[in-house]
Structure formats: C-alpha cells, structure tokens
Structure 1
Amino acid sequence: MSRMPDPDLIPLPLVHERRAGTFAVDTGTAIGADGDARPAAWVLHDVLAGAGVRAPVVPAADPSASIVLRVGEPVRDHPEGYRLTVTPERTVLDGGTGPALARAVQTFRQLLPPAALRRAPVADGPPAIECCHIEDAPRFDWRGVHLDVARHFMPVSFVLKLIDLAALHRLNVVHLHLTDDQGWRLEVPSRPRLTEVGAWRTETVVGKETDAFDGTPHGGYYTLDDLREIVTYAAQRSITVVPEIDLPGHVQAVVAAYPELGNTGRPIEVRRTWGISPHVLAPTDEALAFAREVLGTVLDAFPGPWVHLGGDECPRTEWRESPAAATRAAQLGLGSVDELQSWFLRALHADVTAAGRRVVGWDEVIDDGGMPADTVVMAWQDGARGPAATAAGHDVVMSPQQVTYYDHYQSDGADEPLAIGGLTTVEDVAAWEPAAGAGPGRLLGVQGQLWTEYLPTPAAVEYAAFPRLNALAEVAWTAPARRDAAGLLRRLPEHLRRLDALDVGYRPLDGPLPGQRGGTGRRRRP
C-alpha cells in the first residue's frame, strides 16, 4: 500500500491522518471555549470573519458550538502540544495550555482553503476543510524571528503583520532590535532626546560601499502605546516579544542625543552609513545610570521573560585610547579595558534578574570576562559558537549567520535586489540540522534574522523573509525523524498560495518578480 502524501502544511505536523468527508464553516458555525481557551477562540473568530463567517464565541458546552477548543491534559507531554480532530459534524481542538490551542488554531487556519485567509470573502460558498486527525508538538521551545527596526524603521502595522505570519508558522518569539547606531526606536519618557534626536538621521547611504547619499531624512520610533499594542497583539497569539537594547556598542544614536555618555564628550550625528561605529558608551556611572533608566522603561513595556542586551560588535578603540577608561578598568580590577563590556553588561544583568527576567545576548558576551551562566546566548558568528556557549553552561539559541541571516542573497542571479552579501537559499535552510554541543547548557531553539541595512521597506523585508522563514519554521517545530527537506520543497508551492492570500510579497521559487528585481537603480546588485 502506497504511503499517503504529506499534507501541504508548514511546519509539518507529527501526525496527520486523512479521514472521509469535509467540515463546512458556514453561517451556523459557533466556537465553543471557556477560560484559558478563549483567547485562541477569539483569534479563530477573527480568522473566520475574513472568510465571511461571523462565528460567535460561546461556552464550550453550548450545543451550537461546532468548533470546540478545550484545555485539558497535555498532548504528547508538551505544553504546546495539541490535538485537532475534524469530522463532518464537529471540529475539536485539544491542548494542555492556552498556547497549545493557539498553535492548533494556526494549523486549523492552514487547513482552510487559501482564499478563506483573505480579509473579505471571495469564494462563492462557505469554506470547507477535509476531515482529519492531527497530533503535534514542537521540537524546540524557542522558535523565533528577529526584525531590525533600527537601521530602517518599520511601521506598527508591519510589525503586527509579521507577528501574525510568525503565528501562522507556529513560531513563538518575535525579537525586535530596537536600537543601533543608525536610529533609536523606543520612547523613554525620562530621556526625550533619544526620540527627538536619536530617532532621526539626516540621510542614508545609497548602495554598498559608496559615497552617495539619498539626501532624505529617515527615522521614527514607537511610543509606549505602540509597544503595548504590539505586545498585546502578540500575546493574543501566544507569542513573546523580546526587546533588544544593544549595549554598550552600537550606540552612536545614543551619543548623538547625549554626548556626555560617550568617551570624548564631542557632539556627533546619528550614523548615516552602515558598518560598525567606533563610538561606544563610556565606562562611567552616568552611562550605567542611563542604561538602567532605559531598562526600567523596557521592563515596564515588555512583560515577557527575556530582555536582550545586545553585546555584539563592541569596538574597544575608544576605551583603549581613553585614560579615564584605563583608570576605571584598573579600579574595577579588570585585566584590561577590553573587559569593560563584560563589567557593564554584568551590572545590567543584576538588574534584569532582580526583576525576575532573564538576559539574552549575542555570542560575544561569552568573551572577555563572560556573563553569568543563566544568560541565554544567541550563537550568530558560526556554528562553533553554540557549542562554545553551551560548554560554558549557557543555554543557546542557534542563529548562525550562514543559514539564519535572511538579509543574505537568495540566489546567485544578477537580478536579485541588493543585499548585504552571502548566499542562503531556501534549500540551505530546509536542510539545516541545528546542533549546539553536549552542554551542560541546553539548545533552546533557533531564530531567523532580518537585518534591515539593505531592506528599506516592509516589501523588501517580506521578500527576504519568505520562503526562507517557512523553511526555518519547520526546522524549529518538526522532529528530525519527521522532517524531510525535499518534502518541504514539494509542499511550498501550495503553501505560497496562503501567503498570496495574506498579501505577502515573498520571493517566488523560480526567482524575483519584475517589481522585485534589483534593476539598475539603488537596489542594483553590484
């Protein structure tokens, strides 16, 4: 007997059994849910509204409920494990937690015809889904996507769209890179110049390694209400937003706003070019107090368990040239000024952990003095950095640039739009098997990065993200024994119809559309 083909679902569930018949989602549909099941039920309500079905949310025991969400015993011994059973008369979604039902709702969403995912109905009749039985649970606890909103500011509407797309693919972390040399994107009421000055640059370099500028101011920032909206929207989908405040390097926008926090005290501008700025925070009590003020705002705005402190690419040049930095390092008993980053981040680590949260940092935080073992390390430089971090006792999120940096080129074609460099194909991502050594630290999961130096618009971000992020979602969710790179590539064309319905400007598998090509202008591939 031949094996039934896998369903066109991404990520692929652990168990999917086709059954006879279909379940119609029509005007008589009602959604039954109680207690912790109700947030996921309301998300499903909104999904169905786009298909023209106004399904009320009623108590789970209501006889009218033809879709029922139930919180009960864990499925497959995992807090995000779920069971989805579709019969001609009824659909039941079971899980041990609210987040488990959130994942089940997104699988139900993918079972709908692609046209039903639009904002308004386009089909002649109500949508129907094939009857089936699904049991599922994730491989990793951290399944993330990172968005850099500092190099190019992204509107709240797009951040919400990315959160929704992350949910569709059963990701559970959206990491926002909120600050960098080229812009500060977070309102801090006690430090108004961060958004009056630091959020704006006068112009932006054009192309790659050129002396040309566009002459157009760029910037923006999120108010505290913006951030509350983002966090709440994500929480409704059981997604955690991880804020990143990059310290003590990548701070030229900070020093432009408050020159006294730098090592020279001289005025500078928000950086107009890419690359790594030499300007870093001075190792002073004033700079540490500033960082603590910012952290106070961050901890209030983002209730999740993790706070990312950056810690990457921090040049020591200014510290090595500063007698004051040398004196401070000696007073602290450090081996050299190179260890000032570790001192600075350890001080902030104490504040974050005192607030009941956990620090995350890029993999440089394990160097030059290191960090406490409870710091989560994002291993980005290469595949060896993960094992080095777990060997030092850190839990790790594997984020190696060679396979998870989606600002890299997607093919070697001359018509690809300008990118930072590299080459990462969807096939590369689909074939990746993450590993982080023998420990004692744990491999928490994986994350895809969307750095935006060369992704100036939401459309450019979508082109870079998809379909590579589709493939990463399967790496993150589906057990290795069940996962098949070739199978994923076979399922992608049908899945991309869902992205069409959701108005996602992904890169087609056979190359960019005419409007996505680099052409001969500013987005030309050199």
Structure 2
Amino acid sequence: MPEHSLVPRPAQIAPGEGSGLVLDAATGISCDEAAQGTALWLRTELGAATGLAFPPATGAGRHIRLSVDDSAGLSPEGYRLTIDSEGAKIVGHDPAGVFYGAQTLRQLLPPAAYRRAPLPGEWRLPATEITDRPRFGWRGCMIDVARHFLPKHDLLRLIDLLALHKLNVLHLHLSDDQGWRVEIKRYPRLTEVASWRHESQVGAGDPPTFDGRPHGGFYTQDDIREIVAYAGARHIRVVPEIDIPGHSQAAIAAYPELGESGDLQVGRRWGVIEEVLNVSDATLEFYRNVFDEIMELFPDEYVCVGGDECPKGQWRNSPIAQERIKSEGLADEDELQSWFIRAFDRYFTERGRRLLGWDEILEGGLAPGATVASWRGREGGIAAARAGHDVVMCPTQTSYLDYRQSDSPDEPIPVGTVLTLADVYASEPVPTELTEEEARHVLGAQVNVWTEHMDSPRRVDYMVFPRLSAFAETVWSSGERDYAEFLPRLTDHLRRLDAIGVEYRPLDGPRPWQRRPGVPGRD
C-alpha cells in the first residue's frame, strides 16, 4: 500500500534510502528491555499474518530493531521509524512510543498483514523515515456495555481496533438503569439480579415496543483483570464508570433499599428514568464498598461516577433527601447532587484517584478534584477549564457515534442529528473561546458509543467504523486537516478493516442487511 494511506496521519514522513526491507524467514526482531512488550506483540501479530517466525535477532543483520530512548528528542508517546538498507528501526520516547511505531510499521505492509493466517505474496516495507507524536494525551472511546452487553471476546477485539488507531483510553460504562456488568463480591445480587432484564425496547417509538427476549451478561472480576491487562499491553488505560446517583435502576432492582420507591425491575425502556438513589448514609456506604472493589480491579487514576441525567422529582418528595438538604445547609436538589458527588470526590482523592463525571456535575458546584467530560455541547468544558478543572471533550454534535450517519431512510434506527464521517473529521476538540492557559486543561477528547440500539457486535461495527478512524486523526495528528486528502487514505485503510473482518458502514451507505426497516428512531 502507498505511504499516504497511514491513518492517523503521522507528523512527518519522507522517502527513505534504498529499496526497503523484505520480510522473510531470516528476518528477526531485536529489542531492549523496555521494548520487550512491543516485540512480543509484533512477533505474534505479524507471525500469524505472514507465517514467519521473527526470531530474536542479534548482530548486524537486516532485521527489525526496537528501542526506548527518552533522550532522542521525541515527545511522550512519540517515535521515529526508519526503514532503509539496514533494516527497520523504531525508537520510542517511551514504551508506548515504540508500540505506536510498530503499529505504523504494520500499516506499511499490505492489508493482509491484518489477517490471522498467511496469504501468498511478498511482505515488503518501503524505505521511509517517519517521526510522529500525538496531539493529545487523552484519545478515548467510551463503550456502553450496560444497555447491551458486549461479550469479553468482542471487547478485546475492540481494544485491538482502538490500538490500531493509536487511541489510548477505553472508558467502560459498566452500569445503568438497564444493566449492571461487573462482579462485586460483596454484593452478589448486582450480578444475580441486576445483570439481566426480561426484555428490551426495540427502537424509540412511543408507545414503546419490546422484543420479549431476556438480555444480560457481566464480566467476572477475573474477566476485568484480563481486559485491563490486555489493554495495558497495548498502552490503553481502562477507565471504569459506575453511574450515580441517577441511571441506577438496575442496582436498585437488586437492592431496593438503595432507592426511593421500593421494589423495581431492571429497566427495559430507554431514555431518562425517574428512579434515583436515595442519599442515606447506608447508600453512600454501599457505593464506597462498590468503588473499593472497582479500584482494586482498575488501576487507572480515574474513576467515572457518571452524574448525568439525574431527575430531581423523587428527591423533592423524599423525607431522606429533604432532611439531608437541611442538615447540610444546601440550597436545593441541584446542590444535593453536588454534595453526593463531592463525597466520592473526597473518597477517591484520599485513595490517590481522581473523579471523572459528565458535565452535569457542574450543577450545584463542581467537586474540587473532578475532571469533566463535556457532552452537552462545549459549554460545560469551557466553564470547567476556565475554573481550572481538566476536561475531556465529547460533545454530542461531534462525538456521539450512536447518532445517524446520514439523512437516508436506509440508516438503521436513526437517532439524534446527522453526524457524518466528514463531521467527525472536521471536529476541533479545543474550544476557540479558551485562552492558551485555559486550553491546557483540555486533556483531549473521546467518542461515545451508547448502545441502546446496538444489540450485537455487528451493529457496533456499523455505527463505530469508519467514523472512529476519522476521530483518531483529530486527536493524534496536529496541523490543518483536509477531508479531501484524508478520504483516499481512508479508502485504503478500509482494506485493513476488511482483512480484520470489521463490518463497517460503507462510504456510500448501508448494505441491505445493515438496515432496520420499520424500526423507529428519535430526533
């Protein structure tokens, strides 16, 4: 494939000297200690695709060399890839940089380099010199496994696809009204009861229709440890989300004492549900115990508490809530939600962690250590950055991959406003309203994959790709972006996704079996 097909686009690329490197039975891989993880990954992936062994190499031969050198003039996560008559050499500022260099090296091979068994052909790396680095340190994807469960195998596959695109944050939405997806040893009913529902709403019609089919699933604690380790080997951090105090009907169904209205079933309808947690000491203690187990499973510094779409009706009529407002000297239910979030901000801070929440956590006062995920437009991110808080930008207009991809009636279960591939590519994570100092609080951006209407991995593929490929370039590549220049590279890149087996949306619209005729969506 031509050099210009790299996605995301590297910072600098130039032709190299000589004819490049042909991979054959004599090609080995050498590495220093810090690059051993990437050497193992590269040997495994290229070995499966080419049928070559890539044995450990020593001496001067034409082989692939991997090393970490933080004095090589590279930025964090940056790398330099040189392919010439001497072989291929990747130098990274850190282990992540070496890994991203190896990802680029793989893209320079034919698309068959992404298959699981070898096809006939020559494996030639073109002579080239590439120096590269990411624009942002937070390049993320949120996947909602609560509405529709994504089996572990498919989640690991998604991690590989994020790594291919040089993304480095997997935000895992593990609980919501419609399901609880992680084993908590202290509270077994969270998986015995809350991990499945009797049926699911189909589409977004009013009145709603249901499929009559039970749906569920959860990750055991060993599954989570495997997922975190698998992602970590690919330099992806996993940020867990347990949504509180709204979006909690599944937990309340398992433990009714957490709520305000007694016995419930796990939610089966989509949308904002009125059920919320009560604000008793016992409920706070319950969730402190939950988060203790979550922090043991997920080593990342961030823990997301959601904090979004929390209706206040039950609190207005709740003696527990009204007494809490009075005893804490709060003005109203908005400040009560802030009080609830602040309690966990302090709890995480004491344990060396940081709280992440959707931008509703700004309402009633922002917790001192909180980082804001700005989804209801850019305004929340602007306000948080101006107040000195870190921000992850993910506004609906540019970042919600559950939104429809065109105005065509063939789009399956059309949701929200149109968010095209070109729209995602043109998006700018840093609001222009921010000063240079304020903009430093923008850690980066992420896309959000809400799965109410994605009931299978095939449907996730269709909604996520190739828009995620466009997003990857907005958060990795610096400088001006030109969609007309990007499109030919993406067309080549789709051949890699074909080799992997990703059932993406074709650029000219859905295939017949990707449609959902007759299933209503929503604006």
> What's the TM-score, normalizing by structure 1?
0.95
1:110 is matched with which residue? 107
Cα offset for 1:461? Answer: 0.7
- The Cα of 1:421 is off from its aligned counterpart by 2.3
The CA deviation at 1:75 is 5.2
The structural deviation recorded for 1:395 is 0.8
CA distance in 2, matches of 1:367, 1:380: 14
Deviates more, 1:231-240 or 1:435-444: 435-444
Whether 1:512 aligns to 2:507 is: no
In the other structure, the counterpart of 2:75 is 78
How far has the Cα of 1:53 moved from its partner?
Answer: 3.5
Deviation at 1:49? 1.6
Contact 1:24 1:88 in 2 (8 A): no
Distance 1:44 1:479, change over 3 A: same
In 2, Cα distance between equivalents of 1:42 and 1:354:
37
The question of 1:248 aligning with 2:233 is answered: no
1:418 aligns with one of 413, 416, 429:
413
Partner of 1:145: 141
Give yes or no for the alignment of 1:308 onto 2:307: no
Distance 2:191 2:302 in 1: 24
Cα separation, 2, equivalents of 1:379 and 1:86: 41
Which residues in structure 2 correspond to 1:381-396 (within 5 Å)? 381-396=376-391
- Identical counterparts, % of pairs: 47
Match of 1:477 in 2: 476
Which amino acid is the alignment partner of residue 98 of structure 2?
L
Q: CA RMSD in A?
A: 1.7
Match of 2:366 in 1: 370
**4+ runs deviating over 6 angstroms:** 523-526
Shift of 1:205: 1.1
Which amino acid in 2 is paired with 1:272? R
Structure 1 residue 63: Cα displacement: 4.3
Residue number in structure 2 paired with 1:408: 403
Residue 196 of structure 1 pairs with residue 227 of structure 2: no
Equivalent in the alignment of 1:33: 31
Contact 1:380 1:398 in 2 (8 A): yes
Query: Does the CA-based 8 Å contact 2:414-2:521 persist in structure 1?
Result: no
The yes-or-no answer on 1:69 pairing with 2:96 is no
Cα distance in structure 1, aligned partners of 2:376 and 2:196? 29
Q: Which residue identity lines up with residue 103 of structure 2 in the other structure?
A: Q
Shift, 1:208, TM fit: 1.4
Deviation at 1:48, TM superposition (A): 0.6
Counterpart-to-counterpart distance in 2, 1:82 and 1:51: 24
Which residue pairs with 2:274 in the alignment? 278
Q: Distance in 1 between matches of 2:62 and 2:301?
A: 35
Deviation at 1:337, TM superposition (A): 2.6
Amino acid at match of 1:452: T
Shift of 1:350: 1.5
Paired residues of 1:416 and 1:525 also in contact (CA < 8 A)? no
Instruction: Show CA shifts across 1:238-287 (max 9, x none).
Output: 110111111111000010000001123x1000000000111111111111
Q: Deviations over 1:464-504 (max 9, x none)?
A: 111111110000000024x3222112211101000000110
Cα gap change, 1:506 to 1:282, in 2 (>3 Å): same
In structure 2, distance between residues paired with 1:512 and 1:163:
24
Q: Distance in 1 between matches of 2:247 and 2:189?
A: 17
Question: Distance in 2 between the 1:235 and 1:62 partners?
Answer: 31
Q: What is the SS of the residue equivalent to 2:106?
A: helix
Q: Take 2:62 and 2:246, find their aligned partners in 1: how far apart are those partners?
A: 55
Cα distance change on mapping 1:15 and 1:271 into 2, 3 Å = same
Of 85, 93, 100, the residue aligned with 2:97 is 100
In structure 1, runs of 5+ residues without a counterpart are: none
In structure 2, C-alpha distance between the alignment counterparts of 1:357 and 1:324, rounded to whole Å: 29
Q: Secondary structure at the match of 2:129?
A: strand
Query: Does 180-189 or 112-121 show the bigger shift?
Result: 112-121
In structure 2, do the counterparts of structure 1 residues 102 and 408 end up closer, same or farther at CA, with 3 Å as the change threshold? Answer: same
Q: How many residues are paired up?
A: 516
Q: Is the 8 A contact 1:51 1:127 kept in 2?
A: no
Residues of 2 paired with 1:343 and 1:275: CA distance? 25
TM-score by length of 2: 0.95
